[in-house]
């Protein structure tokens, strides 16, 4: 049976002490809850080792927000997959729309990031999704298809089984404008059908597909109630432990 996941993308927020306080609050909060999902926190790179120490003593999992496509060398400022693996990081977000937009990450680069993460046994959380103009032109299905085909569909079935997909309509990220449960379900079902076409029904059924984009404690239940929505990638609402944990409790 596929896993439900709620993952928090902290982006470039929190000082060290604030980050430690937040992870501590999440971990302590989780101790009292019986959750029907895996919980992942993705803090800034500087705090990964600290967060990873918390993960050793609790059920929380830790993810990075980005990785270099290179293994090592003269790439000032970058962080590599072996570095992440050396502090026991289990997941890494790849292809977030902010990285596609501000850092001009290409399909090819993202494919390399996915490959190197898998080489180091780190599970990619691969983000896909259309911008508003693409939805208005009704080409959102084609856009998402291309993103998956160009960056993921070179993988073999075994490799693909380590992936988590996050559908994040860009017009919903940080805007307060959430996709309706119907819009989310429609795209998630489409993504699952693409996976089935490429890797077979069993792989498609086992793949966790998260929704991301202004998900909050008020709308998470309706989104997660859809049969192809297996949880969320949460930005803003992951910065408050209470809100984040409420979202994690939104599975029937």
Interface residues toward ligand PEP, by CB under 6 A: 9, 168, 173-174, 212-215, 233-237
Q: Which residues on adjacent β-strands are paired with residue 209?
A: 165
Q: Report the candidate in 205, 216, 203 with the shortest Cα–Cα distance to residue 247.
A: 216
Residue (204 or 233) nearer to ligand PEP, CB: 233
From the list 105, 139, 229, 123, the residue with the least C-alpha distance to 179 is 229
70 carries an active-site annotation:
no
- Residue 8 or 204: the one with the smaller Cβ distance to ligand PEP is 8
Residue number with CB closer to ligand PEP (135 or 204): 135
Measured from each CB, the residue nearest to ligand PEP is 235
Q: How far is the CB of 215 from ligand PEP (least distance, A)?
A: 5
* Least distance to ligand PEP, CB of residue 87, Å: 22
Closest by Cα among 157, 86, 161 to 123: 161
Annotated catalytic, 96? yes
- C-alpha 6: how far from chain center: 9
Cα–Cα separations (whole angstroms), residue 14 to 10, 17, 20, 110, 159: 8, 8, 9, 26, 34
Catalytic annotation, pick one of 38, 105, 134, 168 = 168
Closest approach of ligand PEP to the CB of residue 76, in Å: 26
Least distance in Å: CB of 236 to ligand PEP? Answer: 3
Nearer to ligand PEP, 174 or 200 (CB): 174
Distances (CA, A) of 49 to 38, 46, 52, 125: 20, 7, 5, 19
* Phi and psi angles of residue 90, each rounded to the nearest 5 degrees, phi first: -95, -25
* From 96, 105, 134, 188, active-site residue: 96
Kindly tell me which of 29 and 231 has the beta carbon lying closer to ligand PEP.
231
In angstroms, rounded to a whole number, what is the distance separating the alpha carbons of residues 152 and 55? 28
Q: How far is the CB of 209 from ligand PEP (least distance, A)?
A: 14
Catalytic residues: 96, 168
């Amino acid at each position: 049976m596929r896993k439900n996941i709620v993952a928090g993308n902290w982006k470039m927020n929190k000082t060290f002490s604030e980050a430690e306080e937040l992870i501590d609050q999440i971990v302590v909060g989780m101790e009292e809850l019986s959750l029907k999902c895996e919980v992942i926190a993705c803090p800034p790179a500087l705090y990964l080792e600290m967060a990873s120490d918390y993960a050793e003593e609790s059920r929380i999992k830790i993810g990075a927000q980005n990785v270099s496509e290179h293994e090592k060398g003269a790439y000032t400022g970058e962080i590599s997959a072996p570095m992440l693996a050396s502090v026991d990081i289990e997941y890494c977000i790849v292809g977030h729309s902010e990285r596609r937009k501000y850092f001009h990450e290409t399909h090819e680069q993202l494919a390399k990031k996915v490959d190197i993460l898998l080489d180091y046994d780190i599970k990619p959380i691969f983000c896909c999704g259309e911008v508003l103009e693409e939805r208005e032109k009704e080409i959102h299905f084609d856009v998402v298809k291309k993103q998956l085909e160009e960056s993921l569909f070179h993988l073999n079935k075994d490799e693909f089984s380590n992936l988590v997909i996050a559908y994040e309509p860009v017009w919903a990220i940080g805007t307060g404008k959430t996709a309706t449960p119907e819009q989310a379900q429609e795209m998630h079902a489409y993504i699952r059908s693409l996976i089935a076409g490429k890797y077979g029904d069993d792989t498609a059924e086992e793949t966790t597909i998260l929704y991301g984009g202004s998900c909050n404690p008020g709308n998470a239940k309706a989104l997660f109630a859809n049969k192809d929505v297996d949880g969320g990638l949460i930005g803003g609402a992951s910065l408050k432990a209470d809100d984040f944990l409420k979202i994690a409790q939104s599975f029937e």
